[in-house]
Chains A and B, each alone.
Chain A
Amino acid sequence: KQEVTQIPAALSVPEGENLVLNCSFTDSAIYNLQWFRQDPGKGLTSLLLIQSSQREQTSGRLNASLDKSSGRSTLYIAASQPGDSATYLCAVRGATSGTYKYIFGTGTRLKVLA
Chain B
Amino acid sequence: SQTIHQWPATLVQPVGSPLSLECTVEGTSNPNLYWYRQAAGRGLQLLFYSVGIGQISSEVPQNLSASRPQDRQFILSSKKLLLSDSGFYLCAWAAGGTDTQYFGPGTRLTVL
Chain B residues in the interface with A (C-beta under 8 A) = 32, 34, 41-46, 49, 51, 57, 59, 88, 90, 92, 94, 99-106, 108
Contacts and interface: CB of A to CB of B under 8 A. Distances in A.
Q: Which 9 A-B pairs have the closest CB atoms?
A: A43-B103, A104-B44, A44-B103, A106-B43, A104-B43, A46-B100, A43-B106, A43-B105, A43-B104
21 contacts: A31-B99, A34-B99, A43-B92, A43-B106, A44-B92, A49-B99, A89-B43, A89-B44, A91-B44, A99-B49, A99-B51, A99-B57, A100-B34, A100-B94, A100-B99, A101-B49, A102-B46, A102-B101, A103-B46, A104-B43, A105-B43
Interface of A: 4, 31-32, 34, 41-46, 49, 89, 91, 93, 98-107
B99 A4 contact: no
B104 to A, nearest CB: 5
Nearest to B101: A46
A26 B9 CA distance: 35
A106 B101 CA distance: 17
Given A43-B104, A102-B46, A107-B43, 19 more contacts: A32-B99, A41-B108, A42-B105, A43-B92, A44-B103, A46-B102, A49-B99, A89-B44, A93-B99, A98-B57, A99-B57, A100-B32, A100-B34, A100-B49, A100-B99, A104-B43, A104-B44, A104-B45, A106-B42
A9 to B, nearest CB: 10
